């Protein structure tokens, strides 16, 4: 009798621990949490489906190439996005040309050279604060400096409201993001790599150039390219520095004249078209958004491709 | 010369190599210092024009019937109330949803589920704000809000704009909260389970209280982001040119950011009588100071999490 009671004990303990009562509140809590996740993803799916559905009529009678290559117009039947399309592309090149070298350079200084001094701490705190400044405030900066103060250089014939002003503004806007993501990538490089290089007589720059940067490259690429995606979707600062949404022509202007001339960009055009009352423009806006999302997808795919490629190069 | 000095000179390398290193270092320092210059440029350009505005318009004129800068009515309360309404509605959406997502991903989801679901939520963060503005105007307002509030609801309204901004800030709340939940040491959870607590009571009574600073920080950051969000409101809340003082979220209205955007468009340049142009910088300065205070506050809370674990 004693022996059977002892052998039954583990089962009894197990039964007591595994709880016969259903934990109703616990399951409910779990359902609520899962629900909020599904709502968030559901909104994303609804947004995508709704916008694609609204854009369908445009694809039926226009086609992608026609829409992109046609110029902006107030007549929905003839309106295209050409100026906004190439405006956005040139703006991206400008943004990259400013934010990448400056941002990566700043991150290299802060991570590889700077000691923990007061100056360093001020610069770091400053960059974190810049990252939190609303994008429209960068627009005000661009308006005051590039449009008003330097208008004679950035766009003499358009009062400074040029593609150069827009590009500089966007470059400054994403600079803090480039610095922060690059600094993270540099921090992830093990310090033994640096110690090894310094130990065999490399200078700090040789260490960075030949050892730290190649290892950090995948992270740097991802961060910088994703910041480009952020700049691509920004409309608010461009509205302030003069991105326009009506027809304009650059004619056969040279390269410099185009850069100093008036400009539009895809998100700015979305803003302007979305508010127009005609139903045709609602559909056109949806089509324009679909093109924007495809470009964003391409930007992100490039980031992932470069990361995978460079990661392989280092480990093999 | 002592041996020590000789070794030191030998190790330092030749002079040209050292001066090259110094030049490179200086270039990188220049890049880092440029970020400080940008901050100074922001503050100077905002203060300069804002000062012209405030010294010519004066504080009494900041309380009026509404915000119509082109006609000389500068009622800043209209914009502040509009901003708080939109940001408040946004937080009602993003707060609970973002927290729910974060707790699920951090405490409940299996690693594989998490790897799939987390990027899906992050995708939402990559959607440009003009797109959400369009969605708020063409979907949320007519197809979600109209059936609830009746057919006479204004197509442009602050509620739809607030919901749009809220959707935009869900991923922000979710990611900052999730980071702070995951920073809570596993040992605390194990101790709780060891005492027989369920997963729910472990989450609510142990993990969340331990991560509370980070959760507060996520709310502050999201609020700051909602205040600074421009395009959703500019598209979905209507009221170009100006707005009467209103506290009704079901009507059109204007926030600080949308007021700036609508001042800047309409023509090729910021035009208007009196100080319309300068008022742009005045609102910008108020907005800049508000977000700055919120961001500094949030950073305090984040640092507290980091120090503890």
Per domain, the residue ranges of chain B are: 3-57, 61-308
Please report the pLDDT score of residue B7 as a whole number.
78
Q: Which residues contact B204 (CB under 8 A, 6 or more apart)?
A: A29
Contact A136 B230 (CB under 8 A): yes
Give the three-class secondary structure for B67: strand
Give the whole-angstrom CA distance, residue B149 versus residue B165: 20
Please report the pLDDT score of residue B274 as a whole number.
64
Most B CBs within 10 A among A137, A263, A288, hence the mutation to make, goes to A137
Size of interface A-B (CB pairs under 8 A): 256
Residues of B (172-201) whose Cβ lies below 8 Å from A: 174, 196, 198-200
What's the order of all strands across the beta sheet hosting B66-68?
A: B73-74, B66-68, B243-244
Please report the pLDDT score of residue A70 as a whole number.
78
ipTM, 2 dp:
0.88
What the block records as the tokens of B303 is 């640092």
Give the whole-angstrom CA distance, residue A66 versus residue A149: 39
Show residues of chain B in contact with A242, CB under 8 Å: 268-269
Give the three-class secondary structure for B73: strand
Show residues of chain A in contact with B35, CB under 8 Å: 106, 123, 126-127, 130, 175-176, 179
Most B CBs within 10 A among A18, A174, A275, hence the mutation to make, goes to A275
Please report the pLDDT score of residue B256 as a whole number.
87
Radius of gyration of chain A (CA): 27
Residue B243: enclosing H or E segment and its boundaries?
strand B243-244
Report pLDDT digits (tens) over B279-295.
888 889 999 999 999 99
* Mean pLDDT of the B193-214 span: 91
Show residues of chain B in contact with A139, CB under 8 Å: 260, 264
Please report the pLDDT score of residue A10 as a whole number.
72
Please report the pLDDT score of residue A178 as a whole number.
94
Q: Which residue has the tokens 């509205």?
A: A239
Torsion of CA B279, B281, B282, B285, to 10 degrees: 160
CA distance B281 to chain A (A): 7
Q: How many CB atoms lie within 10 A of CB B139?
A: 18
Predicted confidence band of residue B157 (pLDDT cuts 50, 70, 90): confident
What the block records as the tokens of A56 is 């369908």
CA distances in angstroms from A295 to A72, A231, B8, B11, B235, listed in the order given: 19, 12, 55, 52, 22
Please report the pLDDT score of residue B202 as a whole number.
92
φ/ψ of residue B181, rounded to 5: -65, -40
Please report the pLDDT score of residue B269 as a whole number.
46
Q: How many CB atoms lie within 10 A of CB B303?
A: 12
Give the whole-angstrom CA distance, residue A122 versus residue A128: 10
Comparing A279-288, B132-141, B160-169, B238-247, which segment has the lowest mean pLDDT?
B238-247
CA distance B184 to chain A (A): 19
Q: How many CA atoms lie within 13 A of A261 on its CB side?
A: 16
| Domain residue ranges in chain A | 20-56, 64-315
Give the whole-angstrom CA distance, residue B104 versus residue A155: 52
Cβ atoms of A154 and A160 closer than 8 Å: yes
What the block records as the tokens of A16 is 């007591």
CATH architecture, domain A64-315: Orthogonal Bundle (1.10)
Residues of A (58-97) whose Cβ lies below 8 Å from B: none
DSSP 8-state code for residue B239:
-
Q: Is B92 on the interface with A (CB under 8 A)?
A: no
For B288, which of A133, A205, A235 is closest by C-beta distance?
A133
Contact A34 B13 (CB under 8 A): no
CA distances in angstroms from B8 to B4, B17, B44, listed in the order given: 6, 15, 47
Which runs of consecutive H residues, i.e. helices, occur in chain A? 2-17, 24-61, 64-69, 82-108, 118-131, 135-142, 151-154, 163-187, 191-199, 204-207, 213-233, 236-240, 255-260, 266-274, 279-315
A288: closest CA among A62, A128, A46?
Answer: A62
Residue B200, pLDDT > 70, answer yes
Cβ atoms of B173 and B94 closer than 8 Å: yes
For A236, which of B17, B231, B292 is closest by C-beta distance?
B231
Please report the pLDDT score of residue B219 as a whole number.
94
**pLDDT, mean of each 10-residue run, chain A (316 residues):** 61 67 83 93 93 87 79 76 86 92 94 89 91 92 86 73 88 94 92 90 89 90 88 90 68 67 85 83 90 91 82 51
Give the whole-angstrom CA distance, residue A64 versus residue A288: 10
- Would you list the DSSP string of B100-152? HHHHIIIIIS-HHHHHHHHHHHHHHHTS-HHHHHHHIIIIIIIIIIHHHH-TT
Please report the pLDDT score of residue B241 as a whole number.
63
The rounded percent of chain B whose pLDDT value lies above 70 is 90
Report pLDDT digits (tens) over B188-197.
999 999 998 8
Predicted confidence band of residue B267 (pLDDT cuts 50, 70, 90): very low
Residue B271, pLDDT > 60, answer no
Q: Is B29 on the interface with A (CB under 8 A)?
A: yes
Cβ atoms of A95 and A177 closer than 8 Å: no
Contact B13 A203 (CB under 8 A): yes
The nearest alpha carbon in chain B to A299 belongs to: B126
φ/ψ of residue A66, rounded to 5: -60, -45
* Total length of chain B: 309
Domain B61-308 in CATH 1.10.3720.10: yes
The nearest alpha carbon in chain B to A27 belongs to: B200
| Sign of the dihedral defined by the CA atoms of residues A275, A277, A279, A280, in that order | negative
CA angle (A140 as vertex; A139, A143 as ends), nearest 5:
85
| Cα A91 from chain centre | 14
Please report the pLDDT score of residue A251 as a whole number.
59
Give the whole-angstrom CA distance, residue A178 versus residue B38: 15
Q: How many CB atoms lie within 10 A of CB A136?
A: 30
Comparing A286-290, B110-114, B301-305, which segment has the lowest mean pLDDT?
B301-305
Please report the pLDDT score of residue A152 as a whole number.
74
The partner residues of B74 in beta bridges, in order of sequence, read B67
Report pLDDT digits (tens) over B128-142.
999 999 999 989 888
For B28, which of A113, A201, A272 is closest by C-beta distance?
A113
Show residues of chain A in contact with B221, CB under 8 Å: 132
Give the whole-angstrom CA distance, residue B28 versus residue B33: 9
Q: Who wins on pLDDT, B103 or B59?
A: B103
Q: Is B33 on the interface with A (CB under 8 A)?
A: yes
Which runs of consecutive H residues, i.e. helices, occur in B143-211? 146-149, 158-182, 186-194, 199-201, 208-210
φ/ψ of residue A189, rounded to 5: -75, 125
């Amino acid at each position: 009798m004693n022996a059977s009671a002892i052998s039954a004990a583990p089962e009894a303990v197990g039964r007591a621990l595994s709880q016969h009562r259903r934990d109703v509140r616990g399951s409910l809590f779990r359902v609520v949490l899962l629900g909020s996740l599904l709502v968030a993803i559901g909104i994303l799916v609804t947004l995508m489906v709704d916008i694609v559905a609204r854009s369908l009529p445009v694809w039926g009678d226009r086609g992608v190439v026609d829409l992109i290559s046609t110029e902006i117009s107030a007549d929905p039947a003839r309106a295209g996005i050409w100026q906004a399309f190439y405006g956005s592309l040139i703006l991206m090149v400008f943004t990259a040309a400013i934010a990448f070298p400056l941002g990566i350079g700043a991150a290299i200084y802060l991570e590889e050279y700077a000691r923990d001094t007061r100056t360093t701490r001020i610069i770091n705190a400053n960059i974190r604060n810049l990252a939190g400044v609303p994008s429209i405030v960068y627009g005000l900066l661009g308006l005051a400096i590039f449009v008003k103060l330097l208008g004679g250089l950035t766009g003499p014939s358009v009062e400074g409201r040029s593609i150069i002003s827009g590009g500089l503004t966007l470059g400054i806007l994403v600079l803090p993001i480039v610095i922060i993501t690059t600094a993270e990538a540099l921090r992830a490089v093990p310090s033994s790599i640096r110690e090894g290089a310094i130990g065999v007589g490399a200078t700090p720059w040789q260490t960075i150039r030949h050892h730290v940067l190649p290892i950090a490259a995948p992270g740097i690429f991802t961060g910088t390219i994703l910041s480009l995606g952020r700049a691509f979707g920004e409309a608010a600062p461009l509205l302030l520095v003069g991105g326009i949404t009506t027809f304009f022509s650059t004619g056969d202007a040279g390269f410099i004249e185009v850069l100093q001339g008036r400009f539009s960009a895809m998100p700015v055009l979305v803003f302007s078209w979305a508010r127009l009352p005609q139903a045709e423009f609602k559909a056109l806006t949806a089509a324009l958004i679909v093109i924007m999302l495809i470009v964003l997808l391409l930007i992100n795919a490039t980031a992932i491709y470069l990361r995978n490629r460079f990661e392989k190069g280092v480990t093999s | 010369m002592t041996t020590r000095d000789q070794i030191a000179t030998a190790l330092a390398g030749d002079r040209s190599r050292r001066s090259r290193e110094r030049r490179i270092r200086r270039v990188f320092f220049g890049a880092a210092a440029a970020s400080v210059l940008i901050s100074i440029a922001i503050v100077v350009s905002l203060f300069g024009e804002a000062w012209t505005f405030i010294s010519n318009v004066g504080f009494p004129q900041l309380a009026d019937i509404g915000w119509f800068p082109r006609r000389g009515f500068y009622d800043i309360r209209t914009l502040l109330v509009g901003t708080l309404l939109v940001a408040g509605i946004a937080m009602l959406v993003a707060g609970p949803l973002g927290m729910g997502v974060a707790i699920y991903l951090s405490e409940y989801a299996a690693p594989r589920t998490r790897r799939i679901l987390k990027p899906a939520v992050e995708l939402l963060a990559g959607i440009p704000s003009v797109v959400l503005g369009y969605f708020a105007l063409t979907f949320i307002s007519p197809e979600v809000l109209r059936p609830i509030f009746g057919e006479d609801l204004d197509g442009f309204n602050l509620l739809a704009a607030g919901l749009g901004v809220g959707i935009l800030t869900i991923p922000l709340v979710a990611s900052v909260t999730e980071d702070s939940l995951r920073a809570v040491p596993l040992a605390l959870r194990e101790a709780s389970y060891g005492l027989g607590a369920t997963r729910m009571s472990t989450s609510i009574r142990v993990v969340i209280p331990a991560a509370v600073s980070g959760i507060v920080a996520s709310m502050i950051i999201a609020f700051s982001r909602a205040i600074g969000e421009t395009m959703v409101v500019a598209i979905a809340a209507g009221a170009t040119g100006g707005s009467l003082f209103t506290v009704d979220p079901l009507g059109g209205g204007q926030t600080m950011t949308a007021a700036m955007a609508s001042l800047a468009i309409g023509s090729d340049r910021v035009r208007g009588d009196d100080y319309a142009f300068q008022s742009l910088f005045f609102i910008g300065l108020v907005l800049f100071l508000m977000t700055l205070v919120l961001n500094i506050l949030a950073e305090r809370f984040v640092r507290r999490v980091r120090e503890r674990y």
